Amino acid sequence: MDLPRIGLDLTEKQSAPGAIAAIQRAEARGVPMIWSTTGRGAPDATTIFAAAAAQTKTVALGTAVVPTYPRHPSVLVTQAMVIDQLAPGRFRLGVGPSHRPSIEDALGLDMGRPLDHLREYVTVLRGLLWEGKSDFEGRYYSVHTSLGQPARVPIYVSALRQRAFQLAGEVADGAISWLCPVAYLRETAAPAMRRGEALAGRPPARLVAHVPVVMSADRATMLAAARQVVGGYARLPFYAGMFTDAGYPTEPGDPASDALLDHLVVWGSDEQVHDRLAGTLGGGIDELLVMLIKTGDPLGEEARLLEVIVSIAG
């Protein structure tokens, strides 16, 4: 199937039945792609997608992302195979190292060097999914097994800074950014991916831009809502470093500035949201992952955003 240009993020914490209902609503409206994150306090995205795959026909499904450290790649492969069999050609598997507070502080797992770990993880995933076997020895993984039938599910990785985007170009089918300013993606991330592709001799990887949206024309409403959802990321060292690289100097522990939120968040009338989202595509950005930040009318705002997404998707 042709890969979509835009999709909806389903990261909001909700029950499994609620998530499946939201996926069904999106498909009924014509939304081509749903992304979801696996994280603390949220139902497992791969399990939800397996259930949703059996209850939908057209919508594509992608994880953005499954944290690598808590789940052995061979286990994740068996889960991906289920979704691929239930929804052939509709699933993309996004993985990433997550963050030290979530992995080391909360789970007690040593992250070591996250990008080295991610490289090994994707190497094992690629062998098991695409070839049906792995014969790999590394620092983090020693995997010598065969799963038989391949399932050539596209593999995406999370990326924030140049080395991560270059790694995506080297080993993955795409990079999933999270809260990266658009200019940074075009001027820094996309060229880094091209370097990685050239080093590895791989075909072009897709760059997916995460874009938070507030369906309000009132700036104060946008700032208040966005700060609750986005503000916490600025306090994490990985994100603070990326924001600084992008021209928005931020110290770990500081909240997101108004200037940063103005740049990151798409907001305004429905027409303004449409035009700004559509204008984000191109210049190295292949696809949008749109996250609705809800304010006073959750279902109404969702319905309006779905209309915008469908109109851009064509």
17-25 average pLDDT score: 94
pLDDT tens per residue across span 47-80: 999 999 999 999 999 999 999 999 999 999 999 9
pLDDT tens per residue across span 144-158: 999 888 999 999 999
Domain ranges of the chain: 1-153
pLDDT at 294: 93
How many angstroms separate the CA atoms of 15 and 294, rounded? 17
Smallest CA-to-CA distance from 287 within 269, 308, 312 is with: 312
CB 93 within 8 A of CB 125: yes
pLDDT at 150: 93
Helix, strand, or coil (residue 156):
strand
Rounded to 5 degrees, φ, ψ at 2 are: -70, 135
Confidence of residue 238 (pLDDT cuts 50, 70, 90): confident
Asked whether residue 1 carries a pLDDT value surpassing 70, the answer given is no
pLDDT tens per residue across span 24-53: 999 999 999 999 987 767 789 999 999 999
| Superfamily for domain range 1-153 | Luciferase-like domain (3.20.20.30)
CB 182 within 8 A of CB 285: yes
- Range with the poorest average pLDDT among 6-20, 66-80, 166-180, 268-282: 6-20
Helix, strand, or coil (residue 1):
coil
Residue with tokens 């507030």: 214
